[in-house]
Structure 1
Amino acid sequence: MQTRVRKAAHVLERLGLAMAGAASGLFVAALVGTSHSALTNQAFLLLMMIGGAVGFYLGIDTPPHPLTALSGGPADGTWVGKIDTPELLSAIGTFLAAFSAFACVGVIVLRHDPHLVWISMIMAGWVVGVSMQIVAGTIARLRR
């Protein structure tokens, strides 16, 4: 019974992360769409929201590398002293995506009109960050 409750709680947590990612994508799309008239459409908004939802769903809660039960070390000993790539990608991707969304909210709330270069950097940070999250989550789930 407890495992079903834990699994349900985990699914709810992941859905909440997906909704936060979708909301972040919406903020980035709203800012970018106001600066580029070609990107002011519902397809762009939907694409950004889906990308954020998938990225935050897969990339924030990546499964750890398998450990042995007795020593707490790696099960196969192959990654001793090495960097856990999905964990690093997830961390950097989450930071970039969250920072881009934070910057967008700040610009929208403070009603600034940033230069096109800044908006392009925010968009690039978002796309790279979400892509890193998706790649990290995929790698971590494939290695299980």
Structure 2
Amino acid sequence: MLARELMMVSRAAHVMQRTGLAMAGAMAGTFVAAQLAKGNVAVFSTLAFIATTIVVGAVGFYLGIDIPKLTVRATGRIDVVELLSAGGIFLAALAALVSVYGIVFDEIPPRAWEFVIGSWWFGGVVMLATAGLVGRQRLA
């Protein structure tokens, strides 16, 4: 009975952690969307784009940050899932950091940089989501 209760508490804590990470991803997506919307590019100012940025951030952070590791293998290969997760969080966080800077200091980047920032964000969260899905599938 005690083991079952401990397992339920552990699962609840894990869900709470994952939900917090999803909220952090949504918040970072909000910053990126707000910065890109300031650039007067029609596509970036739409409600659909802003909502997509927020949802993709939440899903990417939920799936891709806490990936279960396989047992250490002596194959000498690079773990692609770990690399995707690390690269994805770096790119997404970099895009969010640049966006927060732009919002706080009221800076609008040149149009080409808006696309770069957006690419960092979407590339990063796609890498995170892919890493999370692949990492969970290979354990199954």
TM-score of the pair, normalised by structure 2? 0.91
1:92-129 Cα distance to aligned partner (Å, 9 max, x none): 00000011001100010011121112111111101111
- Give the match for residue 17 of structure 1: 21
- Give the match for residue 33 of structure 2: 29
1:29-86 Cα distance to aligned partner (Å, 9 max, x none): 1111221123212211110011000100000001111x2xxxxx43xx6xx2111111
Runs of 4+, deviation exceeding 6 Å: none
Q: How does 1:1-144 map to 2 (within 5 A)?
A: 1-35=5-39, 36-65=41-70, 67=71, 73-74=72-73, 80-144=75-139
Secondary structure of the corresponding residue to residue 52 of structure 1: helix
Q: Which runs of 5+ in 2 are unaligned?
A: none
TM-score of the pair, normalised by structure 1? 0.89
CA distance in 1, matches of 2:87, 2:108: 27
CA distance in 2, matches of 1:28, 1:115: 15
- Give the match for residue 70 of structure 1: none
More helix by share: 2
CA distance in 1, matches of 2:108, 2:57: 24
Q: More displaced, 37-46 or 54-63?
A: 37-46
- Give the number of equivalent residue pairs: 134
**CA RMSD of superposed structures (Å):** 1.1
